[in-house]
Amino acid sequence: MDGNGRWAQRRSLPRTAGHRAAETTVIDIIEAARSAGVEWLSLYAFSTENWNRPGSEVDYLMRLVRRVVRKHAPLLLARGIRCRFLGAADPRIPRGLAQDFADLATLTADSRAMTLTVAFDHGGRRDIVEAARSLIRSGTPAEEVTERLFADHLPFPDTPDVDLVIRTSGEQRISNFMLWQVAYAEWVFPEALWPDFRAPDFHACLHTYRRRDRRFGGVPPQTNGDPS
Amino acid sequence: MTTGTTTAADETPLSGTESQFSAFFDDPRWALAMIRATVLEAAHPQIGAALVDNSTFVAHPWRRLRNTFLSMRRMFDADPAVREREAARLNRLHARMSGSDSRGRAYDAMDRGARAWVVATLFESAVTMCRLSGQPLDQDTMERMYAEYRVFLAALDGDAGGLPEDLNDFWRYFDRVVEDELENTEAARVILYRLFDHLPAPALLAGAPTLWAAGRAVVGPLLGAITVASLPEPYRRRAGLPEMPGAPTLMQGAYLAAGLTRFLPEGWINAETIIEALSLSPDSDDPRARTVAALRARMKRASALLRLLTPLGDGTVPDPVPATSRGTGEGRRSAEDFFRQVLDQTGDGHLDWPDLAAMARELATRLDLDEPEETRLYDAFAAWWRELQATLDTDGDGRVSADEYAAAVPTLAGPALIRVAEVLFDATDKDGSGTIDADEHRTLFRTAFQRDLTTTHGTYGRSAFVGDFLSFMSGRRPNTPYDPLLADA
């Protein structure tokens, strides 16, 4: 969800206006993903590094997120979307917001149409460190640690590997996002700023993804000539 | 209840199912009568002092209720061996309770007069409950019942000398005690005015605190008023209890309504089922727990939706406390919570010997320990108490306050606590093999912690057991299997 600030700047609006405009996109994309048959959708809303932004902007974001969560809770429930929040462990998160996160997760826990993971106060490295801690605490011998076992100790271990990452506004960085799960992800970098990003743009990204040839480090099945 | 074969009537009348006493077990009126009897007990200066000092009923009323109920069941068991064993256990338990009250008068739970009074209040409350609900007992039944209660006392005390032999003399004895000995004790006030207002939710309803608090706000004062109105007049006058208009009617109405449940089909109301269901924790292995858990999950979701739909107060949400307990990392339970839920068993805000004795008592009861294991457990707890006192009691008042505890949490797990864990381990390791095998482990968790372990990885070594126990007792880890044992209300 990149480009809110730039979107606002281009219109000579305060940065906060960009965040507010992002709400429409969020709902639009959730709806587009669900109708396109996407079963796992993750949104990167707030990173552990975002705490470094000016205090007033962080405060504004917290209030905005809280309003958005509460406003759309019934819709998310009705659409059968299971919501959960990745990260969200920092004590700086206002108590009311944390309660709303927990409530929304409880409310939609049994929904199965799509799982929406909102990465809020998320850091990919931190998750890996947490998994390592959890492994050590469980007393697993070093030689027994496998990739599969390690993944079981990550937060929300049922999350599958990420297939496609869409990073808006032309930025081409990973920015500490779900580092473990994006190992074999395809990346798309549309130029649109997040508040301008809409369902057709999302479908275009899906289309690009479908044309990609995912090899997972292997060789393409039909090669010209003998690979040996 | 089974309708057993009618054995010869010359058997001791205490035996099981035919006695008047056990006929009341499943009677809803008995719940009201028990509260009344407990107030009368607590009004006795000796018993009141013992209760205030030692009892866990303020902090863990549901556990206490369950223990009392099971103990009564055993005292009236058909098998004399069970009865004798329970009487011996109760005697050991009471022998460990003595001290002095706030005015310096000594009390002793083994005092014969005091114990006779406990039995007297039970008998008198049973008779009164029948009168108040409009179905008085006839003279024969009353005399038979009195004889049963005297046998009960004899089972505890060796003989029933504390109570008059004849029922007529009993009433004189009862009135005399009410008029001359009963006082407005702290324990009686706690039961009448504090217990019901602060009653924690039983395990079953622990997930619905709002619902529980709302119900309690209505029912608590009602129960108080009903109990006060049912107490003997001379005591009400002496203790300065309020006479409220309508209270006698309310009280008689409550007894009458409870009495009407006798028209319900047999087996609808079963005290054991109710008590067991109340102490059902959601993650136990009982099949009923799954139904309860499903129901509770629905309730949780409904209240989550309700909270989300409640309009926010104008966007300017004040955030007074920056959520301290959540952020302290690694799921560490706050020292204050641990102090309140686990350490301060008597709920008086201080940690002293009765708190630790209550833990030892609970463990011994749950593990069904006999001598000499029980004494070893108590000794281990006593040693732990001396260690705690020496390290934590900084102001030297002989007890440890929540602040003193919070200031020194890390030092809690000293060698004496390790000794406690070892004694527990030995009590569980019945075959003395040095490890708790899968069977012993399962038994431990089933009997002591009422929980089925999904992962029984073969054996459980001494050091692993000690480590787990220590990390629980030093408040380091919440939600361990030990929680239901000492933390449940």
Q: Tell me which chain A residue has its CA closest to the CA of residue B296.
A: A106
Mark yes or no for CB contact B309/A70 under 8 Å. yes
Cβ contacts of A91 on chain B, cutoff 8 Å: 322-324, 326-327
Answer whether B167's CB lies under 8 Å from B289's CB. Answer: no
Confidence grade of residue A119 (pLDDT, cut at 50, 70, 90): very high
Which of A28, A50, A152, A196 is an active site residue?
A50
Higher pLDDT, B442 or A154: A154
Residue B368 CB coordination number (10 Å): 13
Give the torsion through C-alpha atoms of B104, B108, B113, B114, to 10 deg: 90
Q: Which two tokens stand for residue B281?
A: 């924790």
Residue B276 lies in a domain: no
Mark yes or no for CB contact B301/A106 under 8 Å. yes
pLDDT(B364) > 80: no
R_g over Cα of chain A: 19
Judging by DSSP bridges, how do beta strands B350-351 and B400-401 pair with one another? antiparallel
Residue B475, C-beta contacts closer than 8 angstroms, at least 6 positions apart:
B332, B333, B335, B338, B339, B342, B409, B412
Mean pLDDT within B275-279: 67
Burial environment of residue B228 by CB neighbours within 10 A (0 to 12, 13 to 18, 19 or more) = buried
Q: Which of B301, B315, B323 sits opposite A91 (nearest CB)?
A: B323
Cα–Cα nearest to B239, from B184, B181, B182:
B184
CATH number at residue B358: 1.10.238.10
Q: Among B215, B233, B263, identify where a domain stops.
A: B263
Cβ contacts of A103 on chain B, cutoff 8 Å: 304-305, 307-308
Residue A144 CB coordination number (10 Å): 8
Distance from CA of B467 to the nearest CA of A (A): 13
Residue A199 touches partner B, C-beta closer than 8 Å: no
Cβ contacts of B305 on chain A, cutoff 8 Å: 73-74, 77, 103, 107
Spatial separation of the C-alpha atoms in residues B92 and A137, rounded to whole Å? 41
Q: Which two tokens stand for residue A37?
A: 């048959």
Mark yes or no for CB contact A102/B304 under 8 Å. yes
Q: Which of B305, B323, B326 sits opposite A107 (nearest CB)?
A: B305
Spatial separation of the C-alpha atoms in residues B449 and B443, rounded to whole Å? 9
pLDDT of residue B14: 47
Answer yes or no: is the ipTM higher than 0.90.
no
Spatial separation of the C-alpha atoms in residues B263 and A161, rounded to whole Å? 63
Mark yes or no for CB contact B317/A96 under 8 Å. yes
pLDDT, one tens digit per residue, over A36-65 is 999 999 999 988 888 999 888 899 999 999
pLDDT of residue B328: 39
- Complete domains list, chain A, with CATH: 4-123+161-211 (3.40.1180.10)
pLDDT of residue B99: 79
Least confident of A16-20, B34-38, B65-69: B65-69
Least confident of A107-111, B293-297, B357-361: B293-297
pLDDT, one tens digit per residue, over A120-170 is 999 999 999 999 999 998 888 889 999 999 999 999 999 999 999 999 998
R_g over Cα of chain B: 24
Question: Both B29 and B127 in a single domain?
Answer: yes
Mark yes or no for CB contact A70/B312 under 8 Å. yes
Residue A103 touches partner B, C-beta closer than 8 Å: yes
Tell me the residues of B at the A interface, defined by beta carbons under 8 Å apart: 300-301, 304-305, 307-309, 312, 315, 317, 319, 321-324, 326-327
pLDDT of residue B403: 76
pLDDT(B455) > 50: no
Q: What is the 3-state secondary structure (H, E, C) of chain B?
A: CCCCCCCCCCCCCCCHHHCHHHHCCCCHHHHHHHHHHHHHHHCCHHHHHHHHHHCCCCCCHHHHHHHHHHHHHHHCCCCHHHHHHHHHHHHHHHHCCEEECCCCCEEECCCHHHHHHHHHHHHHHHHHHHHHCCCCCCHHHHHHHHHHHHHHHHHHHCCCCCCCCCHHHHHHHHHHHHHHHCCCCHHHHHHHHHHCCCCCCCHHHCCCHHHHHHHHHHHHHHHHHHHHHHCCHHHHHHHCCCCCCCHHHHHHHHHHHHHHHHHCCCCCCCHHHHHHHHCCCCCCCCHHHHHHHHHHHHHHHHHHHHHHHCCCCCCCCCCCCCCHHHHCCCCCCCHHHHHHHHHCCCCCCEECHHHHHHHHHHHHHHHCCCCCHHHHHHHHHHHHHHHHHHHHCCCCCCCEEHHHHHHCHHHHCCHHHHHHHHHHHHHHCCCCCCEECHHHHHHHHHHHHCCCCCCCCCCEEHHHHHHHHHHHHCCCCCCCCCHHHHCCC
Q: Among B263, B290, B315, identify where a domain stops.
A: B263
Q: Among B203, B237, B263, identify where a domain stops.
A: B263
Q: Tell me which chain A residue has its CA closest to the CA of residue B329.
A: A89
pLDDT of residue B450: 47
List the single best residue of B210, B303, B308 to mutate versus A (max A Cβ within 10 A): B308
pLDDT of residue B332: 46
Mean pLDDT within B224-234: 89
Assess whether A161 carries a catalytic annotation.
no
Q: In this prediction, what percent of chain A has a pLDDT beyond 70?
A: 96
Assess whether A50 carries a catalytic annotation.
yes
Higher pLDDT, B8 or B281: B281
Distance from CA of A184 to the nearest CA of B (A): 31
Q: Tell me which chain B residue has its CA closest to the CA of residue A104.
A: B304
List the single best residue of B299, B307, B476 to mutate versus A (max A Cβ within 10 A): B307
pLDDT of residue B428: 72
List the single best residue of A61, A70, A133 to mutate versus B (max B Cβ within 10 A): A70
Mark yes or no for CB contact B326/A69 under 8 Å. no
pLDDT(B43) > 50: yes
- Interhelix angle A15-35/A199-211, rounded to 10 degrees, is 60
Which residue in the block uniquely carries the two structure tokens 């796992």?
A40
Question: Both B199 and B59 in a single domain?
Answer: yes
Question: Both B235 and B340 in a single domain?
Answer: no
Distance of CA A166 to the CA centre of its chain: 10
Range of the domain at B40: 16-263
pLDDT(B201) > 90: no
pLDDT of residue B356: 80
Cis link prior to A221 (omega < 30° from 0)? no
pLDDT(B135) > 60: yes
Residue A137 touches partner B, C-beta closer than 8 Å: no
pLDDT of residue A228: 47
Q: Which of B300, B305, B326 sits opposite A98 (nearest CB)?
A: B326
pLDDT, one tens digit per residue, over B373-404 is 778 888 888 888 888 777 777 777 777 887 77
Higher pLDDT, B256 or B395: B256
Residue B273 lies in a domain: no
pLDDT, one tens digit per residue, over B50-85 is 888 777 777 777 777 777 778 887 887 778 888 888
Q: Tell me which chain A residue has its CA closest to the CA of residue B327.
A: A91
pLDDT, one tens digit per residue, over A185-196 is 999 999 999 999
Confidence grade of residue B475 (pLDDT, cut at 50, 70, 90): low
Question: Both B153 and B256 in a single domain?
Answer: yes
Most confident of B17-21, B335-339, B370-374: B370-374
Mean pLDDT within B269-281: 66
Residue B51 CB coordination number (10 Å): 25
Spatial separation of the C-alpha atoms in residues B420 and B412, rounded to whole Å? 13
Cβ contacts of B460 on chain A, cutoff 8 Å: none
Mark yes or no for CB contact B312/A66 under 8 Å. yes
pLDDT, one tens digit per residue, over B289-348 is 667 677 777 778 887 888 888 877 654 444 333 333 333 333 445 667 777 777 777 777
Cβ contacts of A102 on chain B, cutoff 8 Å: 304
Mark yes or no for CB contact A95/B324 under 8 Å. no
Q: Tell me which chain B residue has its CA closest to the CA of residue A133.
A: B330
Cα–Cα nearest to B349, from B403, B385, B395, B391:
B403
pLDDT(B467) > 50: yes
pLDDT(B449) > 70: no
Confidence grade of residue A181 (pLDDT, cut at 50, 70, 90): very high
Cβ contacts of A61 on chain B, cutoff 8 Å: none
Residue B316 lies in a domain: no
Mark yes or no for CB contact A74/B324 under 8 Å. no
Mark yes or no for CB contact A107/B317 under 8 Å. no
Number of domains forming the structure of chain B: 2
Using the Cα atoms of residue B448, residue B453, residue B458 and residue B462 in order, give the sign of their dihedral: negative
pLDDT of residue B453: 46
Residue B294 lies in a domain: no
Distance from CA of B470 to the nearest CA of A (A): 16
Q: Which two tokens stand for residue A221?
A: 């099945």
Q: Which of B301, B317, B322 sits opposite A92 (nearest CB)?
A: B322
Q: In this prediction, what percent of chain B has a pLDDT beyond 90?
A: 4
Q: Tell me which chain A residue has its CA closest to the CA of residue B328.
A: A91
Residue B470 lies in a domain: yes
pLDDT of residue B170: 92
Question: Both B403 and B259 in a single domain?
Answer: no
Residue B46 lies in a domain: yes
pLDDT of residue B476: 58
pLDDT of residue B244: 82
pLDDT(B212) > 80: no
pLDDT of residue A33: 95
pLDDT(A84) > 80: yes
Cβ contacts of A67 on chain B, cutoff 8 Å: 312, 315
Residue B457 lies in a domain: yes
For chain A, the average pLDDT equals 90
Cβ contacts of A73 on chain B, cutoff 8 Å: 305, 308-309
For chain B, the average pLDDT equals 75
pLDDT, one tens digit per residue, over B422-437 is 887 777 776 666 666 6
pLDDT(A20) > 70: yes
Q: Which two tokens stand for residue A146?
A: 């496998």
Residue B1 lies in a domain: no
pLDDT of residue A195: 94
Q: Which of A63, A73, A110 sits opposite B315 (nearest CB)?
A: A63
